[in-house]
Amino acid sequence: MGQFSNDMKKLVVDLTKYLGNPCVLTKVVKGVYDPLTGVTPPASTQTIHTYSAPASLMSETFGRDGENTNLDGFNSESVLIPYFAGVDKGWLFDGQNIISIAPIKTQGDIVAYNISIGRKE
């Protein structure tokens, strides 16, 4: 990884900490039943405490010809978070589902993610 990418990662962390809000990323991995032992291990949880910066709040469109129903339950929010290895749609953002995740790159290295949170489709 180039020095520019390292500097950009630090800049993203510093800016989201200064301008953003604290958030928690959580990944719960359920134990898989082992038929040989008859045991299912307990679920494990990975938690990352970080910061996020809101990008936009949008209302999804539904109905004929894309007429907007303005249902609050179908809102999703676009948020910028710093890069963390392994973060994907299986994670939760402050307890909410991550609908989509798009990497933001410099010099081919991921420095941040733009995620949409809300109800999974």
Residue 114: give the domain boundaries.
3-118
Instruction: Tell me which residue has tokens 């134990």.
Output: 31
Which has more confidence, 105 or 71? 105
Number of domains observed in the structure of the chain? 1
pLDDT given at position 1: 56
The CATH number covering residue 34 comes to 2.40.10
pLDDT of residue 59: 46
What pLDDT, on a 0 to 100 scale, did the predictor assign at position 26?
92
What tens digit of pLDDT does each residue of 51-88 get? 998 775 444 444 455 555 555 444 457 888 888 888 88
pLDDT score, position 72: 44
pLDDT digits (tens, 9 = 90+) for 9-68: 888 888 888 888 899 999 988 888 888 888 888 888 889 999 998 775 444 444 455 555
CB count within 10 Å of CB 75 equals 14
Burial 11-29 (b: 16+ CB within 10 A, else e): ebbeebeeebeebebeeee
User: In this predicted structure, what is the pLDDT of residue 24?
Assistant: 92
Residue 82 has phi, psi (to 5 degrees) of -65, 165
Three-state secondary structure along the chain?
A: CCHHHHHHHHHHHHHHHHHCEEEEEEEEECCCCECCCCECCCCEEEEEEEEEEEEEEEECCCCHHHCCCCCHHHEEEEEEEECCCCCCCCCEECCEEEEEEEEEEECCEEEEEEEEEECCC
